Chain A
């Protein structure tokens, strides 16, 4: 427990140094003590299949999402941004993460990714996609 609190304190301090104090209250994974087990079962997540899993099936497996996003703008579908996204929040020994699932117009999962909160940069996090994704990209 002491070690966890130390990690928490160091993380919170780093947060305040690296970003604005005002935002840290909401912010980074460093401020949240990680659990020893994964809060979103890897086995269940593995059952979410891009190209086949429906919204209903995903909800049955993972429950209601923490947040839904839909970036349609001007009534236009922006390439790669038109899908409804379901976000789940999870935690494991590596810290906090989000499970990010994008659904196509037919309510079928098109993209699934498990994205660590504390990773930003040019590498990104590899996502699993349904085969039609490549066709969408070619149209951009």
Chain B
């Protein structure tokens, strides 16, 4: 049994008092979320606030149908503020508490638009918006993305952002980074000379370029940066690195960025069957032909990783989704073995690591940190894999097992819908996996949005799941989960009874004159539609919810109301 007992682990590492205090009091300058991943390694404790019969049989508020496609649709949420993001299409948002200021960083998809602050047309890069006053967000700065190559923006954009305070890093004082904030961003999307960069964003209205971590890349994507250790899991590929993937050609480069000005390479990592020495022409699936030259998953070579999520040094796990929208694999890794597995001694080290473990590992090198892996069906891929630990199971607060309250650790996995008008694809959903026993993740429930009412397959743009919220805001943790669902907007579920998750809120942004049209050709006829696409939904450390639009319509800041608000309150206040 490998149930992830966070309190026990925390006690072992001397954090029990921290957990008992709810951690917020330990937070340094950047706010109450500072103790949790990615800023720290503690995990919020979840208390049961559900009736013992769970969600089944409760009076459930019926989900209202959305308004017409021209209109905003909202249920159990309230619009608090808006910023148009200069009409740039947003991929990933991140909201960071910087010494009491709430700063939003948006990684933008490729293209160009006019920077209203300067009047200059700039290649889409990173938008920086002060959202301290959600009613009046203030656009502070736009860091341009790559210039077009031969007049084409196909390789441009800067979709990904992570920000860490220097103060939480090891050796902050010695490295002169205490009090500073650093932005890690992707630079480029599909070219032959992309990179990952670090910027000093201590003053977010005047960011300063610091360094390029790694260049010559071909497929940067969604990275993760542990702010308490400095370890970063950078997603990228390179034409010359020899790694092999189907679809999105990217794997993981692990760096120590605890001194952001001096990145230190640790190793490259991927799924068995992707390593440079894998014999793609002859290797067989590990599922039914396990060997020392097999590939995991259903496609050969396996699809690239989308975005690792590390739960830090206490939980000691990294969750990796592969495949994005098809032929997915979800991998759970031992963090210590992952980071140190190419060393021959020390914690997590592998005495049998190969000589080329860091750049061209053997299958055995890749298996060293692997705790388990799940093969998804071919029509779905791994886009997000976000764990939530020790969620109380309402019906198991007595009677079952030994009569003591039971909880389950869960993994929320989403697949990305990539087709406009649903044409040519099966539905893409989000699933709850029971990972109480990590070796045998097991499906618990599906989070689904029906195409009717709303006619989401007919209104244009993409319809389907995309990304699961990653920021840990304790009142929401284990109570609700939010998933971006493209043209069906932000979708929120009450997960207090995770076997029976309930839709509890949604927000669908109305199209505006900034909304990019989505065109699709079906049966030889091409039509273009004005429809928003919620690409990501994320929280800040005050509980505001940020919906960002892939179609260029901007950022909408939301709060919970009604039944959704009740779901996060203690039972006595519901």
Which positions in A face B, CB cutoff 8 Å? 18-23, 25-29, 55, 64, 66-76, 78-82, 84-85, 87, 89, 96, 98, 100, 102, 105, 107, 111, 113, 115, 117-129, 133-134, 136-137, 140
Contact = CB atoms under 8 A, between A and B. Distances in A.
Contact of A79 (B157, B324, B419, B528): B419
A27 B516 CA distance: 13
A37 to B, nearest CB: 19
A117 B154 contact: no
B526 A129 contact: yes
Contacts of A123: 527
Contact of B519 (A73, A80, A87): A80
Given A27-B512, A79-B419, A126-B525, A72 B460 contact: no
Interface stretch (B27-35, B83-91, B474-482): B83-91
B421 to A, nearest CB: 9
B154 A74 contact: no
Contacts of B26: none
A78 B510 contact: no
Contacts of B420: 80-81
A120 B531 contact: yes
Contact of A140 (B423, B459, B516, B525): B423
A28 B515 CA distance: 10
Nearest to A103: B152
Main secondary structure of the interface of B (DSSP, over half): loop
Contact of B69 (A74, A98, A113, A122): A122
A84 B527 CA distance: 17
B458 interface: yes
B320 to A, nearest CB: 15
Contact of A117 (B110, B190, B513): B513
B436 interface: no
B304 interface: yes
12 contacts: A20-B72, A28-B513, A70-B110, A72-B155, A72-B189, A74-B304, A87-B516, A113-B528, A120-B530, A127-B527, A137-B520, A137-B522
A78 B280 CA distance: 25
A85 B110 CA distance: 10
Nearest to A135: B521
A117 B553 CA distance: 12
Interface stretch (B93-101, B242-250, B388-396): B242-250
A72 B110 contact: yes
A68 B145 CA distance: 13
Residue with the highest number of chain A CB atoms closer than 10 Å, among B71, B121, B189, B512:
B512
B544 to A, nearest CB: 13
A119 B530 contact: yes
A84 B517 contact: no
B70 interface: yes
Interface in B497-536: 509-514, 516-531
Interface in B443-498: 455, 458-460
B189 to A, nearest CB: 5
B70 A140 contact: no
B511 A120 contact: yes
Interface residues of B, number: 78
B287 to A, nearest CB: 24
Contacts of B249: 75
B157 A70 contact: yes
A140 B419 contact: yes
Contacts of A84: 111, 152-154
Contacts of A124: 460, 527-529
B113 interface: yes
B437 to A, nearest CB: 31
Given A19-B72, A72-B157, A74-B250, A121 B519 contact: no
Contacts of B87: 67
Contacts of B526: 111, 113, 126-129, 133
Interface string B148-165: 000111111101000000
Contacts of B524: 134, 137
Contact of B79 (A22, A28, A134): A22
A115 B424 contact: no
B68 interface: yes
Contacts of A70: 109-111, 152-154, 156-157
A65 to B, nearest CB: 8
A55 B154 CA distance: 14
Contacts of A64: 121
B82 A22 contact: yes
A72 B154 contact: yes
Given A133-B521, A134-B524, 18 more contacts: A23-B509, A69-B110, A72-B190, A74-B219, A75-B190, A79-B419, A81-B518, A84-B152, A115-B517, A120-B510, A120-B511, A120-B529, A121-B68, A122-B460, A124-B460, A124-B528, A127-B526, A137-B522
B552 to A, nearest CB: 7
Contacts of B91: 73
A66 B516 CA distance: 12
Nearest to B91: A73
Given A20-B82, A75-B249, A29 B109 contact: no
B48 interface: no
Contacts of B154: 70, 72, 82, 84, 105
Nearest to A22: B82
A107 B151 contact: yes
B221 interface: yes
